Amino acid sequence: MNDNVQQRVFRVISEVLNRKENEIQLTLSLRDELKMDSLGQMTLFIALEDEFQQSIPPEEAEGLVTVQDVIKFIERKTQEPSLV
Amino acid sequence: MSRRVVVTGAGVVSAIGKGVEAFWRGCLEGRAVVTTIPENWIQFADFHSRLWSPLPELDLESLGIARTERLHLDPVTMLAIGAGREALENAGFTLQPVEERARAYRVSGIDGTRAGVFLGTGIGGAHSFLHNHVHHLHQRTRALLAAYAGNHASDPDLASLNTVLGMLSHGPRYNPFVVSMLMPNAPSAALGIRFSLTGPNVTSCVACAAGTVAVGHGYRAVRDGDVDLAVTGGSEYLYDEHGHIFHGFDVAGTLVRDYSSPETANRPFDMKRSGFLFSQGGAAVLVLEDMEHARRRGAPIMAEVTGFAETFDAHSMMSLAPGGQQIERVLRTALADADLAPGSIDYINAHGTGTRNNDEVEAGVIERVFGKSVRVNSTKSILGHTIGASGAFEAVVTALTLRDGITHACKNLDEPLLDLNFVRSAGHFDARAAVSQSFAFGGHNAAIVMRRFD
């Protein structure tokens, strides 16, 4: 995994949840362990759009369960043309 | 139950200063911020007015707003949160983080079920509505045109198309939170969520009277024992990328026309007035509290609210009724609510927009009700018009005037339209009782009465 992407995703998740970065781990699930409901996840994905300047349609983000899933998804997205 | 109601805190985010004391210094110094409107607005329309009063760049951190929150909160809500936070802290409360809810606080020493929010706004999150509307309208059109331009890259006549593509620019996404951003009750709701206030949460959406009506309803809720504490005031944000909102007020003929001298263009109650100065917005919040509740916790007390009234013109959507009969009635009813005779009032913070009609009608009513000796000024002569927040700013100024015994000047008033006792320069004035009044599109009139707290 790309360390830079991982670091930035961790930072965004910690900002959205208002938790310390060291509380975020790769294997944690967004819904059950980080307690992100659907609105929380919506907030996360627009924050990730903003951070990485990539469009993330909701249907593409469906099925992402863990923090690691999100990082891999973002790594793939960053290969696409940027929003700017 | 009828209880005495006191102002224990205030918070402000404005064009002339963030923080209530900086704002007050700005008022006393007459430090207006007046510039020409953003250059890019002019490519979309021809405007009669060219001036506005912009906010400084918002430092979200200082408003207590996280970077990620700006993605799902309209600026009108962020302004309200910033002013609300300051008002509660100035009232002597400690804000304790709530563990289970990110960026939520409990206000120390109060029962949240006995605390309400009463906030006014004219147009709520119109900024977010327009920002997302542009995305909705332009995204596919722009993509089609961009594809065409890409396929005809060698065409020498592409310059116009590229100009059009620039004009069709839009934000990066249609925001999934747009509904909760644009709804006018968002600022009130956000304050309740942020500070765990679970009493009544009410938005007054009555245009330029919204702030005064909100403060009045907060006063009544405390006075009548519905709540012990009311977080009240107003918030407005009137910027959008294309100048739509400015255009609306401009085409209605309400904005300052004579802009040859920006510094002196905004001149309420002057014979040469030509309209109001459009403000980018701002927020002002007051904490109103049951006097005994405030005393028990040793709170600072700025002033006492003693009366409120509201009436309706039933005349025109956009123009005050000639003669100001319902304005006179709102003032006399507010005075009766405060159990005061007109002669007891020694300071009036007027609506004072700078439009031909408002100032003429308002000055006439002031003379009829209060005579010529009462001191009068217009905070809009400094701030411009913040629409739904204006009454809240003026309530803060009225409370500060009573607290400090100082009045700010009615700026740019050279030749008054009527021989009233307008405040011509800032200075000491031992005001004991005051009125702050607002009138609005639609025909809403409201007035609050305050007195010095001894």
Average pLDDT over residues B302-306: 98
- Compute the distance between CA of residue B127 and CA of residue B184 in angstroms, rounded to an integer: 11
3-state secondary structure of B281: strand
Residue of A nearest to B102 (CA): A18
Residues in B touching A42 (Cβ below 8 Å): 176-177
Report chain B's C-alpha Rg in angstroms: 22
Residue of B nearest to A84 (CA): B172
- Compute the distance between CA of residue A33 and CA of residue B240 in angstroms, rounded to an integer: 40
Residues in A touching B173 (Cβ below 8 Å): 46, 49, 55
Residue type, B150: G
Residue type, B396: V
Closest CA to B447 of B286, B194, B213, B118: B213
Residues in B touching A12 (Cβ below 8 Å): 68
- Angle among Cα B86, B186, B305 to the nearest 5 degrees reads 50
Q: Do A49 and B66 touch (CB under 8 A)?
A: no
Beta strands in B31-132 (DSSP E): 35-36, 51-53, 95-97, 105-107, 115-120
Of B67, B103, B172, the CB nearest to A49: B172
Of B71, B103, B172, the CB nearest to A18: B103
pLDDT score, position B157: 81
Supply the pTM of this predicted model. 0.95
Tell me the residues of chain A between 15 and 54 that have a Cβ less than 8 Å away from chain B. Answer: 15-19, 42-43, 46-47, 49-50, 53
The model's pLDDT over B38-67, given as tens digits with 9 standing for 90+, comes to: 999 999 999 999 999 999 998 888 898 998
Residues in B touching A50 (Cβ below 8 Å): 68, 71, 172
The yes-or-no verdict on residue B317 having pLDDT over 70 is yes
Q: At how many degrees (to 10) do helices A67-77 and A38-52 cross?
A: 40
Closest CA to B374 of B294, B435, B287: B435
The model's pLDDT over B373-425, given as tens digits with 9 standing for 90+, comes to: 999 999 999 999 999 999 999 999 999 999 999 999 999 999 999 999 999 99
Q: How far is A60 from chain B (nearest CA, A)?
A: 15
Residue of A nearest to B98 (CA): A18
- DSSP per position, B60-129: GGGGT--GGGGGTS-HHHHHHHHHHHHHHHHTTPPEEEPTTSTT-EEETTS-GGGEEEEEE-SSTTHHHH
H/E element, B349: strand B347-349
Q: Do A42 and B176 touch (CB under 8 A)?
A: yes
What does the block give as tokens for B369? Answer: 């009700």
pLDDT score, position A83: 65
Residue of B nearest to A51 (CA): B68
Of B71, B102, B103, the CB nearest to A46: B71
The model's pLDDT over A47-72, given as tens digits with 9 standing for 90+, comes to: 999 999 988 888 888 889 999 999 99
The model's pLDDT over B148-168, given as tens digits with 9 standing for 90+, comes to: 999 998 888 888 899 999 999
Alpha helix segments (H runs only) across B3-48 = 20-29
- Compute the distance between CA of residue B338 and CA of residue B324 in angstroms, rounded to an integer: 21
Of A19, A43, A58, the CB nearest to B68: A43
Q: Is position A69 annotated as part of the catalytic site? A: no
Q: Are strands B35-36 and B51-53 parallel, antiparallel or unpaired?
A: antiparallel
Q: How far is A17 from chain B (nearest CA, A)?
A: 6
Residue from B68, B177, B194 whose CB has the most chain A CBs within 10 Å, to mutate: B68
To the nearest whole percent, how much of chain A has pLDDT over 90? 67
The residues that bridge with B290 in the sheet, in sequence order, are B5
**CB atoms inside a 10 Å sphere around CB B145:** 16
To the nearest whole percent, how much of chain B has pLDDT over 90? 93
Residues in B touching A13 (Cβ below 8 Å): none
Q: How far is A5 from chain B (nearest CA, A)?
A: 17
Residue type, A45: F
Residue A47 CA neighbour count, 13 Å, CB half = 24
- Compute the distance between CA of residue B99 and CA of residue A8 in angstroms, rounded to an integer: 24
Band of pLDDT at residue A84, cut at 50, 70 and 90: low
Closest CA to B270 of B406, B383, B407, B378: B378
Residues in A touching B103 (Cβ below 8 Å): 18
Q: At how many degrees (to 10) do helices B244-251 and B126-151 cross?
A: 110
The residues that bridge with B203 in the sheet, in sequence order, are B119
ipTM of the complex: 0.85
